C-alpha cells in the first residue's frame, strides 16, 4: 500500500512540475531565439589553473597549431606538430626542441597565433589526446611548474561540459549544463579579474580536461546556446549544480556560509531525479522475520549490537554481532529534519525489533610447557667458566611440542529478550556509516523507508551538495519527458532569467611573416611517453598488473616507500604494465617492478592480470 501511494504521489509531482515549468518556458518563448541581450560584454577569455598537469618538474607539449614561445624579449616560432619539453633544473626552466635548448628562466608563454581555417590550433600534452585551445603561461612556483591556460569562454566550455555531464546525455540536458557552466565561468571571471587566474580545472570549480573531437553532442549543445547565461536582478547568477539531489533541491544557506542573494534558488521536490534509475542509491533491506542469525544483514546486527552493548554485557551475554539474532523487525521510520519544512533531510532513525542473545565462553589457555619455565636467573652474555658444554646425542635432544590450533569459543543457546526494543539512532554519522548508506562527504543524504510485505528497505539518495541543477534530473527531463533546456533551467533556477551575450571574437596576435616561412616538421600523433618494458619472468608469488584507474591525462607516482609522503621516483602513465611483487603491510600499497625501476604504488590504481 505504501509503495502504491508513493507511486501516485510521484506521478502527481511530475505532472505539477511539468505544467509549472512548461508555463515558465512559454513565458520565455521556448522554441524560438527570443532571449534578450545581456548588458555589457562577457569576458573574452578565461584563465584556468591546470592543477592536473602542473606541479611537476617536466612538461612535454605538442604544438598542434601555430605557436610561438615568448621567453623574455625573445620570440621562438615553431612549426605545426613541434614537440617541446620544458624541464625544471636548479629552479630555472630549460626549453628543449630538436636539439636546441633555451634557458627560459622563471617564466615563459606558449602564445597561439592565427592558423589556416579548418585546421586545429591547440596544445596537446603528453599522454593526452585532448586539445587545449589557448595560450599557456608556465612559471616556477614553489619548486614546480605552474600552468595557466588562457582561452575563449566557448573553447573553455568544450573541455568542461562533456566531463561534468556525459556526452551521451540528451542534447537538451547538455544545453542546460552548458548554460549553467557558462554562467558559473563568466561569474568567476568577472569576480577574479585582478587575480592570477579565474578558475581551477578540478571540482573546486569545474572539471576542465581540454576538448576532445569525439564529443560532438556536447559541442553542439555549446554552439546552440552560445553566449546564453543566467541572471538574477540584473546580475549574473551563480549556477550551482550537482550529480543528483536525491529527490529534493537544497538551499545554499544549508550547505555553505556564503554572502549574496540566492533568491533564484529554492527548496523543492524533484520527481525527475527521484524517478531516474541512474540516480545514485544506497540501500539495505531488513527482513521482518528471521530464523537464523545471518538472515539479518551483518551491518544491521553490528549497528544494533553496538547500541545494545551495555545491556548485553550486563546480562552476561556476548555483545558481538554473531551473537545477536534479530528475530523480528516491526517498525522502521525516520524523522527530525535538520532544517525547517519542507526539508526531508532527516537526522533520526527509529527501529523497533525483538532479539535473542547468547553467551560466549572462551577456552582457557593451556599451561606453559615445563621447558619454558625457570626461576633461575640466566645471563646470555656472561658464560659460567666452570660449565663445560657437552655434545648430546641427536636422540637425546628434546624439542618443544608442536603448536596446536587455538580452540574455538563455545556458545550458549540463544535466549529471547523480553518484549520489543525501540532504538533511536542518529543518522549522521552513526546509522549512515554503520549501514553503509553513505554516498558523499556532505552528511546530507536523503533517507527514506519503504515497507513491503516481508521487509523494510532503508534507502539513501543524493550525490553532491544538491543545490541547483541536478544532472540526473536534467537527463530524465530531457530524455523521458522531452523537455527543452529552458524548461530544465526554469525548474532548477526558478527565479533566474536567461539572456544572451553578444558574440565576440578575440583576435590572435600575428607574427612577422619571416618567422612563418620555414616549414615545420610533419605533424605527428599526440606524443605519449614510452612505457617501460616488462619482460622478466614472474618471481614466485608475483603477478602482472596494469595502470588503468587513472585519467588519460594523469599519471601514477612510483614512490620509494609505501606511503603518500614517500619520495617520488618517477611517474607511471596509463597502460604501463607492472610486476606486482607483494602486498605491503601498509594497507592499500603494493611493491612493483618493471625491467628498469622498482618502487611502491597504491593498488587501487591497478588492474590485475591484463594480457601482455
Delimit the domains of the chain by residue range: 281-361+411-461, 543-608
Q: How many C-beta atoms lie closer than 10 Å to residue 225's C-beta?
A: 24
Residue 489: CA atoms inside 13 Å, Cβ hemisphere, count? 29
Written as one string, the DSSP assignment of 29-58 is TTTS--PPBPSS---S-EEEE-TTT-SSSE
For 543-608, CATH number out of 3.40.1370.10, 2.30.30.40, 3.60.20.10, 3.50.50.60 equals: 2.30.30.40
Contact 585, 544 (CB under 8 A): no
Query: Residue 549: its pLDDT value, please?
Result: 86
Buried b (16+ CB within 10 A) or exposed e, 360-397: beeeeeeeeeeeeeeeeeeeeeeeeeeeeeeeeeeeee
Question: Cell 549497528 sits at which residue?
Answer: 303
Query: Residue 367: its pLDDT value, please?
Result: 52
Grid cell in block for residue 74: 625573445
Query: pLDDT of 119-156, one tens digit each?
Result: 999 999 987 889 999 999 999 999 999 999 999 999 99
Report the C-alpha gap between 547 and 567 in whole angstroms: 19
Query: Residue 126: its pLDDT value, please?
Result: 85
Burial of residue 468 (CB within 10 Å: 0-12, 13-18, 19+) is buried
Query: Residue 567: its pLDDT value, please?
Result: 85
Q: Minimal CA–CA distance to 224: which of 182, 285, 280, 276?
A: 182
Q: What residues in the chain have per-residue pLDDT under 70?
A: 1-33, 365-406, 511-530, 553, 610-612
Q: Minimal CA–CA distance to 168: which of 221, 107, 125?
A: 221
Beta bridge partners of 48: 149, 199
Q: Minimal CA–CA distance to 260: which of 235, 223, 225, 297?
A: 235
Over its C-alpha atoms, the chain yields an Rg (Å, rounded) of 32
Query: Residue 33: its pLDDT value, please?
Result: 59
Query: Residue 516: its pLDDT value, please?
Result: 54
pTM listed for this prediction: 0.74
Grid cell in block for residue 341: 519544512
- The alpha helices in 96-234, defined as continuous H runs, are 153-158, 161-164, 171-191, 216-224
Q: Minimal CA–CA distance to 270: which of 253, 252, 246?
A: 246
Report the C-alpha gap between 524 and 62 in whole angstroms: 9
Element (H, E) at 144: strand 144-151
Query: Residue 56: its pLDDT value, please?
Result: 85
Backbone φ and ψ of 526, nearest 5°: -50, 125
Written as one string, the DSSP assignment of 58-124 is EEEEEEESSEEEEETTEEEEE-TTEEEEEEEETTEEEEEETTEEEEEETEEEEEE----TTS--EEE
Conformation bin of residue 316: beta by default, left when phi > 0, alpha when psi is -120 to 50: left
Query: Residue 378: its pLDDT value, please?
Result: 38
* Peptide linkage before 461 cis (omega within 30 of 0): no
Backbone φ and ψ of 578, nearest 5°: -140, 155
Grid cell in block for residue 600: 611502491
Amino acid at each position: 500500500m505504501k509503495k502504491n501511494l508513493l507511486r501516485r504521489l510521484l506521478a502527481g509531482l511530475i505532472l505539477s512540475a511539468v505544467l509549472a515549468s512548461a508555463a515558465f518556458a512559454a513565458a520565455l518563448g521556448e522554441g524560438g531565439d527570443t532571449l534578450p541581450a545581456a548588458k555589457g560584454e562577457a569576458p573574452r577569455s578565461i584563465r584556468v589553473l591546470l592543477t592536473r598537469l602542473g606541479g611537476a618538474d617536466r612538461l612535454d607539449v605538442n604544438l598542434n597549431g601555430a605557436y610561438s614561445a615568448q621567453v623574455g624579449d625573445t620570440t621562438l616560432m615553431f612549426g605545426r606538430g613541434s614537440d617541446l619539453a620544458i624541464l625544471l633544473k636548479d629552479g630555472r626552466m630549460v626549453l628543449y626542441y630538436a636539439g636546441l635548448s633555451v634557458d627560459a628562466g622563471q617564466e615563459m608563454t606558449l602564445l597561439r597565433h592565427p592558423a589556416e581555417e579548418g585546421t586545429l590550433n591547440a596544445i596537446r600534452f603528453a599522454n593526452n589526446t585532448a586539445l587545449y585551445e589557448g595560450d599557456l603561461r608556465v612559471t616556477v612556483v614553489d619548486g614546480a611548474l605552474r600552468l595557466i591556460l588562457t582561452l575563449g569562454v566557448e573553447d573553455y566550455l568544450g573541455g568542461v561540459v562533456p566531463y561534468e555531464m556525459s556526452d551521451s546525455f540528451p542534447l537538451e540536458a547538455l544545453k542546460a549544463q552548458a548554460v549553467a557552466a557558462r554562467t558559473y565561468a563568466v561569474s568567476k571571471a568577472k569576480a577574479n579579474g585582478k587575480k592570477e587566474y579565474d578558475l581551477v580545472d578540478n571540482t573546486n570549480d569545474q572539471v576542465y580536461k581540454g576538448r576532445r573531437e569525439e564529443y560532438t553532442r556536447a559541442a553542439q549543445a555549446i554552439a546552440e546556446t552560445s553566449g546564453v547565461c543566467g541572471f538574477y536582478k540584473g546580475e549574473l547568477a551563480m549556477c550551482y549544480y550537482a550529480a543528483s539531489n536525491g529527490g529534493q533541491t537544497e538551499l545554499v544557506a544549508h550547505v555553505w556560509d556564503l554572502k549574496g542573494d540566492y533568491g533564484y534558488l529554492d527548496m523543492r521536490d524533484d520527481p525527475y531525479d527521484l524517478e531516474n534509475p541512474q540516480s545514485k542509491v544506497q540501500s539495505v533491506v531488513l527482513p521482518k522475520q528471521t530464523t537464523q542469525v545471518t538472515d539479518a544483514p551483518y551491518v544491521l546486527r553490528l549497528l544494533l549490537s553496538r547500541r545494545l552493548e551495555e545491556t548485553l554485557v550486563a546480562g552476561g551475554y556476548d555483545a558481538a554481532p554473531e551473537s545477536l539474532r534479530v528475530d523480528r523487525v516491526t517498525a522502521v521510520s525516520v524523522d527530525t529534519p535538520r532544517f525547517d519544512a519542507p526539508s526531508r533531510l532527516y537526522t533520526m532513525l527509529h527501529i523497533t525489533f525483538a532479539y535473542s542473545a547468547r553467551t560466549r565462553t572462551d577456552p582457557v589457555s593451556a599451561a606453559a610447557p615445563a621447558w619454558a619455565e625457570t626461576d633461575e636467573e640466566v645471563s646470555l652474555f656472561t658464560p659460567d667458566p666452570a660449565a663445560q658444554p657437552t655434545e648430546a646425542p641427536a636422540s637425546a635432544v628434546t624439542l618443544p611440542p608442536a603448536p596446536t590450533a587455538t580452540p574455538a569459543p563455545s556458545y550458549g543457546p540463544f535466549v529471547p529478550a523480553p518484549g520489543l526494543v525501540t532504538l533511536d539512532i542518529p543518522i549522521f554519522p552513526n546509522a549512515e556509516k554503520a549501514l553503509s548508506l553513505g554516498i558523499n562527504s556532505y552528511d546530507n543524504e536523503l533517507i527514506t523507508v519503504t515497507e513491503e510485505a516481508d521487509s523494510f528497505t532503508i534507502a539513501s539518495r543524493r550525490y553532491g551538495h544538491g543545490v541547483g541543477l541536478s544532472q540526473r534530473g536534467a537527463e530524465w527531463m530531457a530524455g523521458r519527458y522531452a523537455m527543452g533546456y529552458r524548461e530544465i533551467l526554469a525548474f532548477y533556477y526558478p527565479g533566474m532569467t536567461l539572456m544572451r551575450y553578444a558574440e565576440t571574437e578575440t583576435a590572435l596576435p600575428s607574427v612577422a611573416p619571416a618567422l612563418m616561412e620555414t616549414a615545420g616538421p610533419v605533424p605527428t600523433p599526440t606524443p605519449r611517453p614510452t612505457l617501460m618494458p616488462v619482460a622478466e619472468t614472474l618471481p614466485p608469488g608475483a603477478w602482472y598488473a596494469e595502470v588503468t584507474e587513472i585519467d588519460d591525462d594523469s599519471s601514477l607516482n612510483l614512490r620509494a616507500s609505501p606511503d603518500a609522503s614517500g619520495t617520488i621516483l618517477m611517474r607511471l602513465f596509463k597502460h604501463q604494465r607492472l610486476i606486482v611483487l607483494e602486498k605491503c603491510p601498509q594497507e592499500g600499497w603494493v611493491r612493483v617492478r618493471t625491467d628498469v625501476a622498482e618502487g611502491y604504488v597504491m593498488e587501487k590504481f591497478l588492474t590485475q592480470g591484463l594480457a601482455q
